[in-house]
Amino acid sequence: MRWLGHPLAALAAMRGHLFPMAPVALAVGIGLYFALPEEPGRAALAALAVAALAGGLLWWFGPEDAQPIFAALALVCLGVLLAAWRSHAVAEPVLGWRYYGAIEGRIVEVDRSASDRMRVTLDDLVLERIAPERRPARVRVSLHGDQGFVDPRPGKRVILTGHLSAPSPPSEPGGFDFRRMAWFQGLGAVGYTRTPVLALAPPGAGDGLGITRLRHAISEAVRARMPGQPGAFAAAILTGDRSGIESATTEDLRAANLSHLLAISGLHMGLLTGFVFAALRYGLALIPPLALRVNTKKLAAIIALAAAGVYLALSGGNVATQRAFVMVSVILVAVLLDRRAISLRSVAIAALIILVARPEELTSAGFQMSFAATTALVAVFGWMRTRPQDRWRAPRWAAPILGVAICSIVAGLATGPVAAAQFNRIAGYGLIANLLSVPLMGSVVMPAAVFAGLLAPLGLSGLPLSVMELGTRWVLGVAHWVAGLRGALTGVVEPPGWALPALALGALAIILWRGRARWAGVPVMVAALAGWSAAERPALLISEPGTLIGLMTDAGRVLSKPGGEGFAAATWLENDGDLADQAAAHARPGLSGREGARRFTLAGRDVVHITGRGARARLDDHCAPGRLVILGNVLGAAAPPPEPARARRVPVSDLSRLHRAAGSRAVCEVIDRSVLVRTGVLAVHASGGALVAETARSRRGTRPWTAQ
């Protein structure tokens, strides 16, 4: 056991510096919960509770050298328990069937869909022939067609006729799970309407949506003063209302790596509170009688904290803004307590608060990118602050420019892997765009927003809003210019599920650990990047209706149709790291035969994809020995064989059903809707000359959000 003494001694030497690792251990437990293939039962949760309690007691009373290990064990178990509790605490009814009929409800949110349609979120629902206890708490409806009959305002009660269904499952095994995200947002159904939305009742006083209506009014006033996309951008950063942002603008911002400017996150909250804090502190210092009697630094911190609270309320209080508010609050409270405001300990406190309140946030891109950037920036500037004084330092006049450049480089490097993993793209000129835009956000746009808010009650907000408009036009101009450059975007293949967590843990080990042992994080990061670069994509993807397939070829994935099932098609291409659209992917070579009966060869097997009217009747014509037939959107007469519950990959023959052609001895394997309705989306891999499949349902498992 002598070898064990070194790690324990290293932990003992780290005493006093281990607190920043507490949220890491808690996050490991939360991540383990979401990675589980099945929901843990009561017995497993009880065992975890006992382990967490035992770990806590041993951390307090156990051997001093081993106390950090017991604390980490307790936090990991607590993370699993917190995530499980949260998953069941937010439970609301989910629509388990396709619904078409009257939908009555109260508008609580207005935004815009990915297809650039206006979209409303409704609560307090009334649905035809559905009992109150089975109604979803919230639904989200995209508005198509002529919608000029009602102005969608929060609090207004409306009625419409539309289609609703359960939130969609992942578009491929292990892909983004919108159903899980909707579960934690309380969305029990999503859908659309092509008929006019009609108003039933105006917003009422005392309905709890007063702040929401104020936000809507501010957003309308800003857009009226600043028409076009500059006003829509300004409204988005002031109130969180993105309903005016067009899809082309969104794409430009993404291509320039400036889409983070749309989200009211740590940058906006930090710029606003930083400006308020600095302006008050220096302004109060100009009043000697007050400056000599009052701690102006703490007074400025209190007022800046209040300003952050007002901004949180006016911005809608979404999760990203709540996260930013927590981080800013921790910093300002540290100022009030005469502690170091910006430190890894402050970042850890903010992370703990968010993970305890909303464990599901760990899986969101916003949480990951926000804390990746903040942790890296605090670590780098902390190292720069502790450098020996005789080292080179930038001239005073160049310090602000150098500081902005360092911030952009460090934040870009820290968030780059997260952005690549979450969005499957890298903005090649993101650093340039941020250097040209972020300083203007801090020096012009946000200060002008503060002055506009202060002068609005006096009717004098016109001048600061004009200044703000100049800033927003510059930002949008930079985004449009950078997005048009050749090589602005590079596609990135989806990493294996373990790669990003391993990369994060390796980086955190380097930042948080002390001594030479920190460099053990380097091989972990190298292994994660190597695994990412060797990521395997499915040779064939089959959508759940069976009407869309995607075959991987040397030219990229070729899709079986140029339109329809656009979300699945876009997701497949993005996860391939392919920047082509669906129409371009459909035009690629790889599928032969006419539309409705496309043929190809996969791992030496002849495969036919039959779709369209009369597909069932044409099955016998295409059935041949050894052939695999994919039948789109047609229910088979026979039940498929049972799907293995635990296996990740199984032979395609175990999932397909056998079909004998009428008047012939030809027997073929068939994958149709009767198979796909039980398996979900299929990802087929060519392994050793055989076809093996991974099903969406086996990857999703049985969780609270998978049941309908």
Q: What angle do CA 586, 587, 589 make, to 5 degrees?
A: 100
Chain center to CA of 262: 14
Q: With a cut of 70, say whether residue 598 has pLDDT above it.
A: yes
DSSP letters along 526-540, please?
HHHHHHHHTPPPPSE
Q: What is the mean pLDDT of the chain?
A: 86
Q: Which residue has the tokens 């911002």?
A: 253
Please state the φ and ψ torsions of residue 468, each to the nearest 5 degrees.
-65, -40
103-140 residue pLDDT tens: 999 998 888 877 778 899 999 999 988 998 899 999 99
pTM more than 0.85: yes
650-673 residue pLDDT tens: 888 888 888 888 877 788 999 988
Band the pLDDT of 645: cuts 50, 70, 90. Answer: very low
For the record, the structure tokens of 401 come out as: 């420019």
Count other C-beta atoms under 10 Å from residue 531's C-beta. 15
Q: How long is the chain?
A: 708
435-489 residue pLDDT tens: 888 888 888 888 888 888 888 888 888 899 999 999 999 999 999 999 999 989 8
226-253 residue pLDDT tens: 989 999 999 888 888 888 888 889 889 9
520-549 residue pLDDT tens: 899 999 999 999 999 989 999 999 889 999
Q: With a cut of 50, say whether residue 5 has pLDDT above it.
A: no
Band the pLDDT of 387: cuts 50, 70, 90. Answer: low
Please state the φ and ψ torsions of residue 60, each to the nearest 5 degrees.
-85, -40
CB 152, CB 206: distance < 8 Å:
no
Q: How far apart are CA 305 and CA 310, in angstroms?
A: 9
Q: With a cut of 50, say whether residue 638 has pLDDT above it.
A: no
Q: With a cut of 70, say whether residue 394 has pLDDT above it.
A: no
Q: Which amino acid is at 597?
A: A
Q: With a cut of 50, say whether residue 641 has pLDDT above it.
A: no
> Quick one: pLDDT at residue 629?
92
> Quick one: pLDDT at residue 16?
66
Residues 6+ apart with CB under 8 A from 456: none
> Quick one: pLDDT at residue 275?
86
Calculate mean pLDDT across residues 409-430. 87
Compare 393 and 162 and report the one with higher pLDDT. Answer: 162
Residue ranges of domains in the chain, CATH in brackets: 2-89 (no CATH), 99-208 (2.40.50), 216-491 (no CATH), 499-533 (no CATH), 540-548+587-700 (no CATH)
User: 101 vs 159, 172, 174, 312, 371, CA distance in Å?
Assistant: 10, 30, 33, 37, 44
How many percent of the chain have pLDDT more than 90?
A: 38
CB 117, CB 143: distance < 8 Å:
yes
